[in-house]
Structure 1
Amino acid sequence: MLCGTLIATSVALAHDIRAKPNAKVPPAFDITSASASTDGRLATFTMEVTGTAGAQKPKKVGKLAGAKVDAYVWPTKLDPAAVGFAGGSGILALAITAHPDFDDTPLFDENGDGDPNNDGAGWHSHWVVLGEDAACAGGLKVRDISPGQDVLPATAPGLPLALDSPGMSPILKGKSVRITVPVKGAENVNFDAVAAHLQVHEKGEKPLLCVTGTYKVASGKLTLPGVIVKSEKK
């Protein structure tokens, strides 16, 4: 019995991602581990950092153009169609973001003040589709799209980006970042964990939202070595 438990534990850990602490990385983004699991209907993504999760946010610039974004991101090998985007359109990633200069969750009032249009500064969730773009300093962008023409999830905020605002609340507590989202077909799918910074184009042109760099990539080189495992029954 003990042997079986040890084997099961080692297999589960093999599907996680582990990273050594790095003193050169801001503690709030210094990822040390990441994991993901699913019960077939809901998937839970987690990452651990050396510092206090969510303690660092981008500074306000006062306008949308040039606005900065900080993000905890789980890139996956899920097809974007799994959550309502066009199939095969890029890298589907789950992101927890904060950006004080704009709100992109018009259906939700995250801070509970009665105004759903002023919540960008708080940590909130998105599904995004990433694509390569040499014009971006980080080599990736949130894909530019045409609302009304491109296939988008029902809760997409209407921006010209492959971005959905599903309204699932992230939990940032202590060293942990965690979120649970509805998505089918996630078992055995690969993933990675990244702490990144992005920026809106300073002239509002394409590429509109670039990944400008990463604080840390859990796998080191974005190889997506993690595996979403089946949740253990309680």
Structure 2
Amino acid sequence: MKIKSSCGFGLVAAALCCVSVNASAHEITTASNQAVMASFDIIETSIVTDHGHAIFRTRVRADAGKVTPQATGKFEGSEVYAYVWPTTLNSWDVGFERDQGIVALAVTFHPDFDDAAYGGKNRDRWHPHWVVLSEDNACPGGLKVRDIPEGTKPRLPETWPGAPILIDSPEYKTELTGDAVEVHIPLEKIGAIATASFDGVTAGLRVNANLHTPLLCVANVYKVASGNLSLPGKVVPGK
């Protein structure tokens, strides 16, 4: 199913569409928006630490993970749907070089290609990634997953899937049930998370049809939890 953003293209347009929000000192809650498909209509986003894990959680109006991109049969031009938590983490905290851009956890589905670590398969399921986002006006949404310049050898996580972009493919417990998307990450993997701020986004990304840089663009923004991508959420300390 093809989905058009109710907020138009671009993060600024998305922010202006989603203005009824309660950005508390902890989770971010926002009013539902009937113009956004229920699967992508964020109503609450949080990160909680509990029993040695950081639990990233987003609630939508209904049917988390029900809507997925239509397969095209080829990599170039294919689509990715994502539930995203942009954070204030440094790219070094998740295995990349320092100060590379916006570090985000993304739970994604893309039926036309695999990007699991070590050559594994993941095109048939929702799965998590760390990505580093940076601005690029060539992308409809104004952001891309940062490209790795040809001929460079930057610091990369062990579970980097081999794509020429700043992406990691760790195996974290990921669940989509009812209205919730939830990822459990061992704290030793992201020790700086306790002091991080965050936001919540639902988005569609697209692989460049010519396979040139930018390779993976944010193409549609369906909803921004805070309304303005200000990352007002704070991690709730647990046990």
Look up the match of 1:3.
none
Look up the match of 1:140.
143
Letter in 2 for 1:222: L
Look up the match of 1:4.
none
From 117, 121, 125, the counterpart of 1:122: 125
Matched-pair contact (CA < 8 Å) for 2:93–2:192? yes
Look up the match of 1:42.
53
From 59, 79, 85, the counterpart of 2:90: 79
Number of residue equivalences: 213
Letter in 2 for 1:86: E
Identity, % of aligned pairs? 46
Look up the match of 1:19.
30
Look up the match of 2:158.
154
Normalising to structure 2: TM-score of the pair? Answer: 0.85
Q: Deviations over 1:159-187 (max 9, x none)?
A: 00100001113110110110011310111
From 164, 167, 173, the counterpart of 2:168: 164
- 1:33 maps onto 2:44 in alignment: yes
Matches of 2:35 and 2:133, distance apart in 1: 27
- After TM superposition, the structure 1 stretch with the greater mean CA deviation from structure 2, 32-41 or 69-78, is 32-41
1:145 alignment partner, SS class: coil
Matched-pair contact (CA < 8 Å) for 2:117–2:160? no
Q: Deviations over 1:157-215 (max 9, x none)?
A: 01001000011131101101100113101113110000000000001010000000211
Matches of 2:63 and 2:46, distance apart in 1: 18
Q: Deviations over 1:38-66 (max 9, x none)?
A: 25953111010001100000111110000
RMSD of aligned Cα (Å): 1.7
- Stretches of structure 2 that go unaligned for 5 or more consecutive residues are 1-22
Q: Deviations over 1:133-171 (max 9, x none)?
A: 000000000000158601111100010010000111311
Letter in 1 for 2:137: A
From 185, 188, 197, the counterpart of 2:192: 185
- 1:224 maps onto 2:231 in alignment: yes
Matches of 2:34 and 2:95, distance apart in 1: 39
2:192 alignment partner, SS class: coil
Which has the higher relative contact order, 1 or 2, with Cα contacts under 8 A spaced 6 or more apart?
A: 2
Matches of 1:81 and 1:229, distance apart in 2: 22
Task: Summarize the alignment of residues 89-104 of structure 1 with structure 2, pairs less than 5 Å apart.
Answer: 89-104=100-115
Structure 1 residue runs of 4 or more that deviate by more than 6 Å after TM superposition? none
Matched-pair contact (CA < 8 Å) for 1:54–1:172? yes
Deviation at 1:13, TM superposition (A): 5.7
Normalising to structure 1: TM-score of the pair? Answer: 0.87
Matches of 2:62 and 2:41, distance apart in 1: 7
- 1:66 maps onto 2:70 in alignment: no
- 1:131 maps onto 2:97 in alignment: no
- After TM superposition, the structure 1 stretch with the greater mean CA deviation from structure 2, 95-104 or 178-187, is 178-187
Look up the match of 1:175.
179
1:212 alignment partner, SS class: strand
- Stretches of structure 1 that go unaligned for 5 or more consecutive residues are 1-11, 109-115
